[in-house]
Amino acid sequence: MSLEVSIIVPDRVFWRSTAKEIILPTLSGQMGVLKDHIPLLTGLDTGLMKVRSESDSRWIIMAVMGGFALVNNNKVTILVNEAELGSDINYEQAEQDYLQAKSSLDNLMTSDGKDKLEAVLRFKKCKAKFV
């Protein structure tokens, strides 16, 4: 038996498959989920999610942009604001976006307020796609 994984973004089911293992970017750090994990609801941070395929044991990498994960009875339901498969990410564009977001954040480090918060969120999104 394996894990049934569903990743849902606001307008559709983004990805659905079975998996041997999942590594989630939770708000308190990375967390692994294997078969027969205890029931759990956790907040997800913006970052990389890794899924070990059941069929060939390869890792599938995805960038997820905040949300929640529910683990119950070997079913993992992941609700996120955005998701992108690692294989679909344009590395050169991701690098440019990351460097630009880092520069913007560096320029706002001494300020407070909305601009800094938006820069931090943009940086985290770009970092998830670039790393």
pLDDT tens string, the chain, 131 residues long: the values are 699 999 999 999 999 999 999 999 999 999 999 999 999 999 999 999 999 998 888 999 999 999 999 999 999 999 999 999 988 888 888 888 888 888 888 887 777 778 888 888 888 888 887 76
pLDDT value of residue 34: 96
Q: What angle do CA 25, 30, 32 make, to 5 degrees?
A: 105
Q: Which residues contact 125 (CB under 8 A, 6 or more apart)?
A: 46, 63, 65, 82, 101
pTM of the model: 0.82
Contact of 14 with 88, CB cutoff 8 Å: no
